A and B are shown apart, each in its own frame.
Chain A
Amino acid sequence: MAHVAEFDAKAAWDGGQSPFRVSYGKMMMWFFLVSDALTFGGLLVSYGFIRHKYAEVWPKAENVFTHFPFIEQHLPLAYVGLMTFILIMSSVTMVLAVEAGHRMDRRGVTVWMFWTIVGGAMFVGSQAWEWYHFIVGTHVGGPEGHGGALRNVWDPATSSYVKQVYHGATMAVNEYGVPQFANYFFFITGFHGFHVFSGVIINLVIFLNVLKGTYEKRGHYEMIEKVGLYWHFVDLVWVFVFTFFYLL
């Protein structure tokens, strides 16, 4: 279009056009994402602080997340690796949907949006599975497996407190290590998982609009770009959660 070539960054500040060369909706999506990224940044920084404070007793992720569906084997980080792959993959299908939208290719947008939603749903399901195993814990539990917590339980037979092996995790106590480990796991992956969940819902709404032909009528597929920004942001956060929670 003509105005692209004519764009003059200095003259743009005189009014009548956006000096950022983006539409209002897209700009506000970016601003929202910056604020959301600051929230996640704050969470991860405080996680780093607490982890450093209890460094000597902090559990190692390789010893906690060792399960894989249908395989009775010790596979450290394998499942979270698969989850990461699914989310990166769905990020790629999203960006391909955006690219198809730039060509006004309705069929392409439909197909790639569909796979993005499938990938997102798979990720949310995987996270539920991971939470389930984290909460239920190992059959051994307590300190034998991971050096975790023992509960003091009153034993009437001997009239004394006995220490009991603890299985799984709650906000107060977990078998893996200090309570803060489970607290941060629940809060950070939960907050991220809720973002993924709402992303899937938003993608679904936009997908239905694509099927209805709303954007074909509107003359552009910018809405795909906006939800795409949100979806990539979810992937971006996971990259950091993955590193700080599972790798380091």
Chain B
Amino acid sequence: MSEFHDDYPHYETMYNHDEAYGKKARRTLWNVFWIMLAITIFELIIGSMAPGHGWTGTLWLKVLFIGLTVVKAAAIVLWFMHLGHEVKFFKYIILLPYITFILYAVFIILVEGVYSGYPRNVTRVDQIFIDQQKELKSHSGHSGGDAHATEAAHGEEHH
């Protein structure tokens, strides 16, 4: 078929299939899509009503969000990108290096990241940012929260 590697198996056509198999494959793909859509809508509803304090600011909710994201990512990689259909060794050669490095990056940022929190390691510029933001928050009387409702009132005062 190809003039470049005549003796090799034809990997390009290896995953070709007939209509009967295609029908089954399409049903799986649409199911994956509906699951991903449901997860996204759930995340959006929780995310848009989360002001960041009370039950919405808790660690378990953040862990839940990250967990759902990993589920979605796995669905994309395994079904949409067909990595689930590849041979075992190819799966490992793609996934293991990546997972290793990312887990290492997360680990090192969690462990060594505390260094920046020590008072003597806060730069002068950092302190300016933080002081400025704190001053502005106390100055404006409300910190984020339901910003839009009060926005209009403040706007009238100023213009």
Contact = CB atoms under 8 A, between A and B. Distances in A.
Interface of A: 1, 3-4, 7, 9, 16-23, 26-27, 30, 34, 37-38, 41-42, 45-46, 48-49, 52-54, 56-57, 59-60, 62-63, 66, 74, 76-78, 81, 84-85, 88-89, 91-92, 94-96, 98-100, 102-104, 138-140, 143-150, 165, 177-179, 219-220, 222, 225, 228-229, 232-233, 235-236, 239-240, 242-243, 246-248
A53 B133 CA distance: 14
Contact of B50 (A62, A104, A232): A62
Contacts, number: 223
A64 to B, nearest CB: 9
Contacts of A100: 22
Given A85-B37, A236-B76, A248-B62, A103 B19 contact: yes
B145 to A, nearest CB: 8
13 contacts: A21-B87, A23-B11, A41-B98, A53-B117, A74-B149, A100-B22, A103-B22, A143-B136, A144-B150, A147-B137, A149-B132, A150-B132, A236-B77
B151 A22 contact: no
Contacts of A49: 109, 113, 116
Interface in B1-60: 1, 7-19, 22, 25-26, 29-30, 33, 36-37, 40-41, 43-44, 47-48, 50-52
Contacts of A102: 15-17, 22, 25
Contacts of A92: 29-30, 33, 80
Interface string B59-70: 000100110110
B136 A85 contact: no
B88 A9 contact: yes
B20 to A, nearest CB: 10
Contact of B40 (A48, A85, A149, A248): A85
Contacts of A38: 98, 101-102
B69 to A, nearest CB: 4
B97 interface: yes
B14 A1 contact: yes
Contacts of A148: 136
B40 A81 contact: yes
A95 B80 contact: yes
B44 A20 contact: no
Contact of B113 (A52, A99, A104): A52
